[in-house]
Structure 1
C-alpha cells in the first residue's frame, strides 16, 4: 500500500498559506519584530482577538517555521523577521497579500478556468486586460508584490548573468523598475530605460526616486504589444517575467521588436520560471504556468521554446543560465549578429 502522507500534505497545503496570510493581515509579525517575544495572552491583546484563536494561530505559525516558541513566549523566526515585517529592506508581504486577496479567490475557480480557458482573476467580458478597471487598492498591492518579487529575483539574475560590458539596458514591460535598480547597483556604468504602460510610469518614478536612481534610469511610456517599435539606443534588452503573460504568437512579435531595436552585437535577456523540456516540472514553473490560466492568455515556456523563437527571429549564440530565485529559475540569453 502506498504511503498516503504526501497526498495528505498536498491536500492541506492551503491551511499553511492561510495561516501565513492571516497572521500577516493581523500584523502579528510586526508586533513581534524587535521584541523579546510575547505570550499568547499578550498577543491576543495586541491583535484584538480572543485568547483561543490567538493560541491556535501562533501555534500553527510556529509549526510551519514562521514563529519560534520558548518558555511560553513567541518570537519571529529569522526568515519571518527578514521578509515579512513591513518597512524592512527585503519586505515580501506584498506578495502574500496579492496571493491572498487576488489569486486565492481566482484559484478557487480553477475548474471553471480549465473548462472555459478564460481568466478568473478578472472579467474578460467587462475588462480589456487584468489591469483595466481594477480596484486601485488591490492594484497597489499587486505592484508592491511585483516589486518585492522582482527585487529578490534581479539580485540572482545579476549574480549569474554578466552585464559588465553593457552600457544601456532597455527593460521592456519593466514594472516598478526593480530589475533596473538592482542591476544599476551592481554595474556602476550601466544606464537603463523602463518601457511601461503610461499608468505604471508614475509607480516606476516613485520607486526610482526612493532608490536614488532617477538620474541613471529613465522612464518611457509605451505599449510593447501595440507600439510598432521599441525605444532604440540600447545594447541590452531585458524581458523579465513578461513572456509568460502572452501567447506564442504575441511573444514572437515582441522578440521581433526587440531584435529591430538592438544594434549588431546587442544582447537579449529573458528572465523567467522555465518549465523543463519534458514539461514535467519543476513545480514552481509548472504551477506558475497554471496560474497564467486564471490570470492571462499565456503560460510558462521551456528553454527550448525560447530558443526556437529566438532563432526564428534572427538571434544567435543562444544559451540558458540557471539560478534559484522567487520569480525566475533561469535566463535565456542571445545575441543579434
Structure 2
C-alpha cells in the first residue's frame, strides 16, 4: 500500500503515453477581455495623459488625484504594468514607451480614439455575437429603424468613431506607403476616404502626389478639417458624393484607393464599386485595395478573421481573401493583379490591379 499523502491515481490504460495539450491558451482566450478593459479603463481615467512628462506616480498619489480608494488605484497600476503599458522604478510608475507614443492625447500617433470606440461601441456589440451569428444582422445598430450605422447615432459616439478611424488609418497608411511604391502616380482618388488620414500620410511620403478624398458630405467636412490641420490644403481636397450613387466617380486620377472599405459590403456591391472604379480610372493607372486580408485557405490570420466577425456585428460585409479580390478585379477589367503584404493595425496587405 502506498502511504504517501495524495498519491496520484494510476493513469487509465492507453492514456499514459498521450500528453494532453495545455489549457493555458484557453485561459488566455477566455480572459482576453480583462486586458482590454484594463487598458480602456486606464485610458478613460486619463492615466497615460496624467503621467506624460511627469515624475511618475504612486498608488497613493493616483488615489488622491482621481479621488478614489488606494486599493483600486494600486490594482490598476499593477495591471497596466503587467501589460507593458507602464514601467515601475523606485516605487513609482511611468508611461512605457508604447503608452507615451500612442495613448497620450495630442501625440502624433495617438491611438486613443480606437481604444475608446472599441470600448464604448464595439464591446457591447460583441457581447451579442451569438445573436449576430444566428440572425446574420448587425448588433451595434438596428437595420429595421436605421438606414446605416451612422443614421441617428449619438454625435459623441460618431466623434469617437471618426477619431478611431483616423488614428487606425494614419498608422496603416504609413506602412502601406512604405510597402507599395506610389512614386509614379500623380493624382490619387481615395474612395470612401473618411477623414483623409491615408491621403495625408501618402502625400507626406510622396511629394509629387495630390489627392482627392471622396466621401459623403458630412464626412468630407471632417476630412477638410484634418487636411487643414496637416497643412496640406494645397495638395488634398475633399469632394462630397456617394460612391454607390448615380453619378460617375470623379475622373482625372491615375490611382484609386479603397482602404478598409470593401469589407463593409457584400460581393455584389463590391463588384459594382470595382466596376465603377475601372470606368473612372485613367488608362495606365492602378487601384489599391488595402485591407486585413484573410488567407486564401480561410484559416487566418487571426486579426483578419476576427475583424471579419467585427464586420458581422457592424455591417453587411466580411473580410475577404486575395483570391476573391483578384477574381473581382479581373472580372471588372483590371490586369496584372498582385498582392503585397505588410504589417499594420488596419491592414496586412494590398491587392493591386492595373488598367492598361
- The 1-side partners of 2:41 and 2:139 are apart by 23
- Structure 2 Cα separation of the partners of residues 52 and 38 of structure 1: 15
Structure 2 gaps, min length 5: 1-19
CA RMSD of aligned residues (A): 0.7
Larger Rg, first or second structure (1 or 2): 2
| CA apart distance, 1:228 | 3.7
Deviation at residue 48 of structure 1 after TM alignment: 2.0
1:165 corresponds to 2:184? yes
Q: Does 2:37 correspond to 1:21? A: no
Distance in 2 separating the partners of 1:113 and 1:225? 26
Using the TM superposition, give the Cα deviation of residue 37 of structure 1 relative to its aligned residue in structure 2, in angstroms. Answer: 1.0
| Equivalent in the alignment of 1:206 | 225
The reply on whether 1:217 has 2:236 as its aligned counterpart is: yes
Deviation of 1:243 (Å): 0.4
1:91-133, Cα deviation, whole Å (9 max, x unpaired):
1000000000000000001111011100001111110000111
Say if 2:58 is the partner of 1:58.
no
User: Is 1:255 equivalent to 2:239 in the alignment?
Assistant: no
* Structure 1 residue 71 displacement after superposition: 2.4
In structure 1, the partner of 2:152 is 133
Q: Distance between the aligned counterparts of 1:186 and 1:48, measured in 2?
A: 45
1:170-195 deviation per Cα after TM superposition (whole angstroms, max 9, x unaligned): 00000000000001111111110000
1:84 correspondence with 2:133: no
- Find the counterpart in structure 1 of residue 334 from structure 2: 315
What is the total number of aligned residue pairs between the two structures? 337
For 1:251-330, list aligned pairs within 5 A: 251-330=270-349
Structure 1, unmatched stretches of 5+, are none
Equivalent residue for 1:46, pick from 65, 87, 110: 65
Quote the Cα distance in structure 2 between the aligned partners of 1:164 and 1:252.
Answer: 28
Q: Distance in 1 between matches of 2:333 and 2:223?
A: 31
Give structure 1 regions of 4+ aligned residues with deviation exceeding 3 angstroms.
none
- Out of 277-286 and 48-57, give the one that drifted further: 48-57
